[in-house]
Amino acid sequence: MRAGGARLGAFVDRQLSVLFVAPAFVVLLIILVGPFGYMMWTAFTDLSFALPGHDGNFVGFANFRRLMHDSFFWDSFFLTLRFVVAAVSIEFLLGFAVALLIYHQVTRRRLVLTALLVPMMLAPVAVGLIWKLLLQGDFGMLTYYLRAAGLLGTDQAVLSDAPLVFPAIIAIDVWEWTPFVVLVLLAGLMSLPREPFEAAVMDGANRYQVFRDVTLPLLRPIVALVVLLRSIDAFKEFDKVFILTGGGPGTTTELLSIYTYRMNFKDWDLGYGAACAFMVYLVVLILCAVFHKAVFWQEGRVSAPAPEPVAVTA
């Protein structure tokens, strides 16, 4: 009787848990799956609010064929890749160096981390507005000091000068998100077991060898996670660039997200714009798959159990 009552209680608990989770699950389906499904359907139509007769008729893969031959799309795509590679590389190297410095040299870590995390805690729109005011061509404070130091001409402005604006948005992204890299890598360093380090020191390894052969292999999953999260976020970068330059001057900073915005909400070519948005999703999905392989492929090979020898008896 007791066993039957326990099984009945467990069954009731499972049913109640499903009942309680169901509303949240339905909301997630509506918020996530619904818009994605609508985007996918729109990508196969000619829906446009600017062209007469384009009322959402099914056109198959016509938008994707057009996308493959659109030079403006590919310019924005490769510009986005350049932005991601440059920004994430600098953020990782600088963040790793700062994390190691804090881990080995700083005793009052809470105070230092609190100061470091201020840029990351600001909303991206606020970051864009702050830097737009600082780099404004007529009365920007940072522009004034750059001109006073002779680093900027009197008729130049960082956000409207083609050679300067792209490095500027990379530097602003590095300023905002390097603290995130520092925080995650520092947490990873603090969570590493001490035994491998002690064994390496006892074997006579120097600091560089310990870092190369012990620290980096143990931190590999954390490093891959940080690079993955920052790469995904940088590839979708929109807020700061839209506030700072709107994609200009010309198309100098027109990242893929800005180009997709222009197709959808300036040209009102919603069918083609949905196809561009799908490409953003596809690239993010590929990034996730690549980084997952980079982290777990070697681990899977190492952790695979070796076959046991078969004893042969006469």
DSSP state of 55: S
Residues of the chain with pLDDT under 70: 1-13, 294-314
In this prediction the pTM is: 0.84
Residue 210 forms part of a structural domain = yes
Structurally, the chain folds into a number of domains equal to 2
Identify the burial level of 241 via C-beta atoms within 10 angstroms of its C-beta, where 0-12 means exposed, 13-18 middle and 19 or more buried: buried
DSSP state of 23: H
pLDDT confidence of residue 30: 85
- Amino acid identity of residue 94, one-letter, is L
pLDDT confidence of residue 137: 86
Residue 28 forms part of a structural domain = no
Q: Which of 298, 177, 192 is nearest to 226 (CA)?
A: 177
pLDDT confidence of residue 254: 94
- Model confidence over 22-36: pLDDT tens digits? 888 888 888 888 888
Q: Are residues 267 and 284 in the same domain?
A: yes
Residue 17 forms part of a structural domain = no
Q: Which domain holds residue 282?
A: 35-69+259-294
Q: How would you label 185-208 residue by residue, b for 16+ Cβ within 10 Å and e otherwise? A: bbebbeeeeeeebeebeeeebeee
